């Protein structure tokens, strides 16, 4: 059986695991007050090109979103996000649980348009009753999106611009940012992300760590009391060095880049193989998540050898499925899959 369900179904990249194993017996201060954590922060500051950025490590993505959004917003404010955004759909109401409304925007393949943000804000303040409604206090986007699509540099600049002209911060959920940076045709760098966002996180969980998300806050005034806020949200890891160690590994010799590049190359091969075999590519994704519309019979045949995610029926006898590559996907996995696809040609 070969696996393309997701990028968090196996453990850690060997170099990440090695960092954990080789230091296992050491004693360090808890809660992130250790050397490894300091070094990982320094590595990330260098990589993003912002010397005085605040960097903090949390355990998971929903936790990171809920904690940071709660810290950023005033009580009467909400967060703008795509209707398809993770915080709008798949976080069990974590944002609302800390008191804030998710204000939804339309999207194109998961992407929010700057003009829609502009229109929302303009129409909001034009409404005489706006004080009875939830004010847009920040913009949340994810790069890549839920559908694997990627904002171009120009799109990011437009979003950053509309936010800053309207005095709201831009937050980028980078749960899979490593794969976006390696996307086909990606015209932005990690430094661009840091320059355009007020705060973003670089996801580890889906890029080869056991767990962990690195928050980078370039606008240091954005959140007051960050450490106790993280603690209050139950997001402070006692053995904090585990986060530092893993991110230090990820940013050593640009490991995160090679992980992203290999996974994207695999994904593109799979995408083109399905296309060549005559099947519909549902979303033109340049990253490690790929969506296809396949006849149900083909799905059944594939499932004997491959595991992947089912997304729902589409038409009479077809369905949409998702294939995801990751740090642990091998050439052999992909070659096996490609042979299978070829044998199931339309």
Give, as ranges, the residues between 230 and 259 that touch its own copies (CB under 8 A): 231-239, 242
Nearest to 173 by CA among 129, 203, 211, 212: 203
Site stretch for its own copies (CB under 8 A), options 193-201, 222-230, 269-277, 279-287: 222-230
Between 134 and 153, name the residue whose CB sits nearer to its own copies: 134
Q: Which of 132, 167, 304, 315 is the binder for its own copies (CB under 8 A)?
A: 132
267 contributes a contact to its own copies by CB under 8 A: no
SS3 250: helix
Nearest to 176 by CA among 110, 102, 274: 110
Helix (H) or strand (E) holding 170: strand 170-174
Contacts of 90 (CB under 8 A, 6+ apart): 62
Cα separation of 117 and 211, whole Å? Answer: 32
Question: Hey, which residues between 296 and 335 contact its own copies (CB under 8 A)?
Answer: 307, 310, 328
Cα separation of 338 and 21, whole Å? Answer: 35
219 contributes a contact to its own copies by CB under 8 A: no
Site stretch for its own copies (CB under 8 A), options 7-15, 114-122, 214-222, 337-345: 7-15
9 contributes a contact to its own copies by CB under 8 A: yes
- The token duo for 90 is 């798949």
66 contributes a contact to its own copies by CB under 8 A: yes
C-alpha to C-alpha distances, 173 to 121, 129, 246, 257, nearest whole angstrom: 21, 31, 19, 18
- Contact between 131 and 105 under an 8 Å Cβ cutoff? The reply is no
119 contributes a contact to its own copies by CB under 8 A: no
Site stretch for its own copies (CB under 8 A), options 5-13, 49-57, 155-163, 190-198: 5-13
96 contributes a contact to its own copies by CB under 8 A: yes
Between 136 and 260, name the residue whose CB sits nearer to its own copies: 136
20 contributes a contact to its own copies by CB under 8 A: yes
150 contributes a contact to its own copies by CB under 8 A: no
Question: Hey, which residues between 33 and 62 contact its own copies (CB under 8 A)?
Answer: 59-62
């Amino acid at each position: 059986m070969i696996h393309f369900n997701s990028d968090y179904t196996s453990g850690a990249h060997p170099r990440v695991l090695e960092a954990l194993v080789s230091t296992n017996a050491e004693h360090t201060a808890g809660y992130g007050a250790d050397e490894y954590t300091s070094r990982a922060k320094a590595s990330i500051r260098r990589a993003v090109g912002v010397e005085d950025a605040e960097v903090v490590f949390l355990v998971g993505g929903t936790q990171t979103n809920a904690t940071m959004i709660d810290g950023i917003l005033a009580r009467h404010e909400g967060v703008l996000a795509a209707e398809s955004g993770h915080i709008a759909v798949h976080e069990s109401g974590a944002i609302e649980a800390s008191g804030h409304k998710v204000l939804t925007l339309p999207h194109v393949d998961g992407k929010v348009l700057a003009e829609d943000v502009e229109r929302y804000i303009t129409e909001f303040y034009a409404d005489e009753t706006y004080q009875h409604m939830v004010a847009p206090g920040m913009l949340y986007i994810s790069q890549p999106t839920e559908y694997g699509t990627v904002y171009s540099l120009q799109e990011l600049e437009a979003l950053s611009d509309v936010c800053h002209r309207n005095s709201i911060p831009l937050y980028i959920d980078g749960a899979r940012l490593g794969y976006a940076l390696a996307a086909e045709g990606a015209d932005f760098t990690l430094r661009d992300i840091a320059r355009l966002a007020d705060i973003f996180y670089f996801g580890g969980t889906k890029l080869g760590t056991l767990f962990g998300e690195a928050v980078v806050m370039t606008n240091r005034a954005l959140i007051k009391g960050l450490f106790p806020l993280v603690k209050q949200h139950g997001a402070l890891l006692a053995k904090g060095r585990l986060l530092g160690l893993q991110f230090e590994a990820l940013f050593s010799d640009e490991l995160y880049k090679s992980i992203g590049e290999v996974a994207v190359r695999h994904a593109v091969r799979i995408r083109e193989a399905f296309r060549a075999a005559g099947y519909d590519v549902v979303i033109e994704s340049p990253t490690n998540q790929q969506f296809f519309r396949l006849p149900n019979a083909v799905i059944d045949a594939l499932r004997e050898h491959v595991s992947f995610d089912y997304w729902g029926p589409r038409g009479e006898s077809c369905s949409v499925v998702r294939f995801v590559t990751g740090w642990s996907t091998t050439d052999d996995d992909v070659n096996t899959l490609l042979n299978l696809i070829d044998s199931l040609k339309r």
